[in-house]
Structure 1
Amino acid sequence: MGKWFPKLYDTLMGPFERRGFGAIRRQLIQKASGEVLEIGSGTGLNFPFYINAKKVTAIEPEPLMRQLSIQRAQQAQVHIELMSANAEKLPFPDNHFDTIVCTLVLCTIPDPIKALEEISRVCKPDGQLFIFEHVKIDHPFLGPLQDRLTPVWRRLCDGCHLNRPTLDLVKQSNFKVINEKRYYKDIFIVAEAIKAGL
């Protein structure tokens, strides 16, 4: 990742956060409870909204993003431990976390299927997965446009895939989606899922 992207991330996200993303995050993150793992915590935009968690372990592989999140971690209402780790190889034991949070990150992970396998592994039986992501949409113009833009967008925005069918991948994984809501002409989704039984 180039250094420009982490440095400008909060500035670029600011208008979106003020016009709805912040409220979406708040509503979702406040539900996270127990031992929480946040995947790809970035600059810590979710940190102020953790109020019911016992502890949050936040992994972020990009050093500058982690550095930029320290102040938000220190100001959070719950203890947040920052770590460098990749979602495809989580350094945690099986069945460890009560809740796992992914917000605007599954689009960037090189192998989302492997990441979801790892997320399932470290999630407790009947544990929760909360996601807020953008997805490939079923639209005759916008869907193909996402496909055409993705190669350039991926290079500019830290590997972000505009056309990734993230919700479908979650539904095909070891999680059962129990609630989903769509925003902004179905481009963004919020979903709550529970780890399925073995």
Structure 2
Amino acid sequence: MTLTARSLLIPTALGVSLLLGACASTTPAEEDTAVQEGSAAQADLVSVSDSWVKAAAADDGMTAAFGVLANEGGADAVIVAASAEEVSDMVELHEVVSGDDGTMVMREKDDGFSVPAGSEHELSPGADHIMIMGLARDLEPGAEVTVTLEFEDGSTHEFTAPVKDFEGANENYDGDHGDSDDGHGDH
């Protein structure tokens, strides 16, 4: 190789290397996006097992979904809302607490359900549950209901729960839900 060819080759190789390096670099905003995309969404960390929905007639007006929420992640996950579009357009996260008179009452849980990192949160009759109100159709044993959970980071997780007969968990509503005229009596 001649001296002239070598002197042209070195700057060309250096220029190509700088150009490729500039193409590969990212801005801080692009790095933030990559970190966010690489981070697991809360919905990806939580699974639902032993899920089921209490059988109910549409005339009953409501039912509830139960199960075990397990968080395999390293940070808490918080469920802030739920939906069951095929059977209702009104779904709330509920808890059961002792009322002023000592009876157990259910009420909407404004801060949602927290599923601790590496742990579980149980949804069960007489405790935290997903309340499905304004039923659009009867829910017979053996049918299935699809429920979508929404997490505080905006991610969602869908699960399908079988409908089962269950006698119990007939708590009263606290506050505005207690009016028998609104169709939201016992569940």
Q: Give TM class, smaller chain.
A: under 0.3
TM-score, with length taken from structure 1 = 0.21
The two structures have a TM-score, normalised by structure 2, of: 0.22
The structure with the greater share of residues assigned to helix is 1
